[in-house]
Amino acid sequence: MIETDFIEIGNNDGLDDNRDQDELSESSPSHQAVDESDSSEDEVSPRNTIGEVPLEWYKDEKHIGYDIAGKKITKKERRDKLDSFLASADDSKIWRKIYDEYNDEEVELTKEETKLIHRLLKGKAPHAEFDPYAPYVDWFKWDDAKHPLSNAPEPKRRFIPSKWESKKVVEYVRAIRKGLIKFDQPKEEPHFYLLWGDDSSSADRTKHLAYIPPPKPKLPGHEESYNPSLEYIPTQEEINSYQLMYEEDRPKFIPKRFTSFRSIPAYENAIKDSFERCLDLYLCPRARKKRINIDPESLKPKLPSRKDLRPYPVTCYLEYRGHEGAVLSISVEPSGQWIASGSKDGTVRIWEVETGRCLRVWDIGEAVQHVAWNPLSELPILAVSAGPDVLILNTGFGNEEEQKKVKELLHIGTPTSSDDSDDMSSFLSWVQDEKHDCIRLRHYRTVSSIEWHRKGDYLSTVMPAGESRAILIHQLSKKLTQKLPFKLHGLPVSSVFHPTRSIFFVATKKIVRVYDLLKQKLIKKLETHLREVSSIAVHPTGDNVIVGSKEGKLCWFDMDLSTKPYKTLKCHPKDITNVAFHRSYPLFASCSDDCTAYVFHGMVYADLNQNPLIVPLEILRGHTSSDGRGVLDCKFHPRQPWLFTAGADSSVKLYCH
């Protein structure tokens, strides 16, 4: 406001350069009056007496302070800009008026004050009588001096910038940018503070040892009265029972009844209790403990409702009976119309899913450990492991062209060995089985699991006791076999191909190793931290893996996140026998020897910043225990949210939504 008035003064026509001459020609009495006064503030005392109190404190009030008599100074009504402009147009002295915010009034400048302002704007001295070019007065005496103290010329360094100072400045600038030199941040003063409150909990006091008041003793109640009610006085039987208690459990004070104050004896433990109280106050340490009251329910993760995650298998819809022994393995045909099961009774059966009708039965003659259907629908063949042999069976499904192709694929002219260079003939042989009209792969150790490649031409077998040849990969079209070109550390449990890439997973008892078959190198090593791994399954996208163990724990691995488990679920009290993913629905399941199968919702998002969502959905029961075994295998239907389970009670169950 004041700065604007200064500019108006400088631009006003009434103040021109002729005023400088008038100032010099003005009479001196006015200047003498100014010189006699020590301060211009002594002439007019301020109307507002609030001192250094900020005016911001009065912005919401109707007054701006108090006068010398203690009365409120009310605020004047403010005019809008239009009224102010009209008033300035009519008032010829508006350029000499300024607004005093402290006293809430307009002040009109005098001629002397406008002259001072005008001189200041021009960069001159405030007073006109000041002579900036006064003659120099030499205060020193030069009576005997003929020469100066030093007659040397001025050095050059006094006229050029210092190179070393500039280097030092650059050094400081770099240190500030790197954060080596840190400036003290100004402390922000709190705008509000407790006027009457206790500031013992402030930040300044917490740095030091705060005084903690000692706990007060319990105040006496009705029992300590000299004449208590009869209900507080114990009977003789109760007093005798006190003697049988431990000393710390006995009541320290037994109430008694007296008719008057004169009959009250002295308290026998008065000195002892006072001494113990003094010891407590002196020796017992006291410290403040910050306690956080947290609702336990708030710590639970917020999971979506199970109703929003439908469909998923809930109830048993169909049961497939016909085996006489425990069903060790099941496999679903790619179209979902047929299901194959292998049992301990040495038979392999094919069932129709919707009706439960048994279509074909093969008597292998030995306990069937694993069955696996070819993933290609145009190749209706089934791989069966029984002891050291693996049989590639023709199921007989499909049209004539498919059957012709299958028969050509399963025909061997002469018994062929695999790779002669590796000398595999003594360990494995391809033989034509005339009994079942199939191919028999004879291994030198018991085969525990079979897994097909997604293209349907390659087949992997696992022999836990096979040492360096524990895992073999067979090519059905060329009738060739090759061992895994990696060193296996530990006994292998299971193996599985990646659903989309040339990656191979090998699960040992402790660790899951991930290999690249094209580059022939180890990619990752998943640390399970489990006692013993029992099964493994890969998500259809290939980036997530679930591993089941013989201690009832299930581990979920996010391969893009870490080599350690993302989640470890302790769901089964007994061994987990198998785990499985659904091909299209966000579902996965686990089965155990506790005769149950757990169904989970496992959503994997395309956004890498969002973690997978795991929600337990249902516990499926229905199988009975036999010889300490429960549910031995579980598989999902390829198209529907259905789950097949194989139990030790020689039955296969279908659970639907």
pLDDT in tens, 551-580: 999 999 998 888 999 999 998 999 999 999
Model confidence over 20-43: pLDDT tens digits? 444 444 433 434 444 444 444 445
Q: What pTM did the predictor assign?
A: 0.57
Mean pLDDT of 487-514: 91
Mean pLDDT of the chain: 83
Answer whether the bond into residue 186 is a cis peptide, omega within 30°: no
Report which of 508, 386, 381, 566 is spatially closest to residue 457, judged by C-alpha positions. Answer: 381
Residue 615: per-residue pLDDT: 92
CA–CA gap between residue 8 and residue 563 (Å, rounded): 77
Residue 237 carries which side chain, given as an amino acid letter?
E
Residue 213: per-residue pLDDT: 75
Q: Which of 135-139, 419-423, 538-542 has the lowest mean pLDDT?
A: 419-423
Residue 254: per-residue pLDDT: 86
Residue 290 clears pLDDT 70, i.e. is over it: yes
State the pLDDT confidence band at 44, using cuts at 50, 70 and 90. low
Residues in a beta bridge with 587: 601
Give me the domains of the chain, ranges plus CATH numbers.
2-122 (no CATH), 227-257 (no CATH), 308-656 (2.130.10.10)
Q: Environment class of residue 212 by beta-carbon count within 10 Å: exposed (0-12), middle (13-18) or buried (19+)? A: exposed
Q: Which of 37-41, 373-377, 637-641 has the lowest mean pLDDT?
A: 37-41
* CB atoms closer than 10 angstroms to residue 567: 14
CA–CA gap between residue 529 and residue 509 (Å, rounded): 10
Residue 18: per-residue pLDDT: 44
- Vertex 87, ends 85 and 88: CA angle to 5°? 65
Is 634 within 8 Å of 597 (Cβ atoms)?
yes
Structure tokens at 42: 């002594």
595 contacts: CB under 8 Å, gap ≥ 6: 621, 622, 623, 624, 625, 630, 631, 647
Residue 603 clears pLDDT 70, i.e. is over it: yes
What percentage of the chain carries pLDDT values higher than 70?
87
- DSSP string spanning 579-601? EEE-SSSSEEEEEETTSEEEEEE
CA–CA gap between residue 2 and residue 400 (Å, rounded): 105
Residue 14: per-residue pLDDT: 41
Q: Compute and round to an integer the Cα radius of gyration of the chain.
A: 50
Residue 263 clears pLDDT 80, i.e. is over it: yes
Structure tokens at 630: 């429960």
What percentage of the chain carries pLDDT values higher than 90?
38
Residue 351 clears pLDDT 70, i.e. is over it: yes
Q: Strands of 381-386's sheet, edge to edge? A: 368-373, 381-386, 389-394, 438-443, 428-433
State the pLDDT confidence band at 208, using cuts at 50, 70 and 90. low
State the pLDDT confidence band at 318, using cuts at 50, 70 and 90. very high
Higher-confidence residue of 21 and 104: namely: 104
373 contacts: CB under 8 Å, gap ≥ 6: 331, 332, 333, 334, 340, 381, 382, 383, 452
Residue 561: per-residue pLDDT: 87
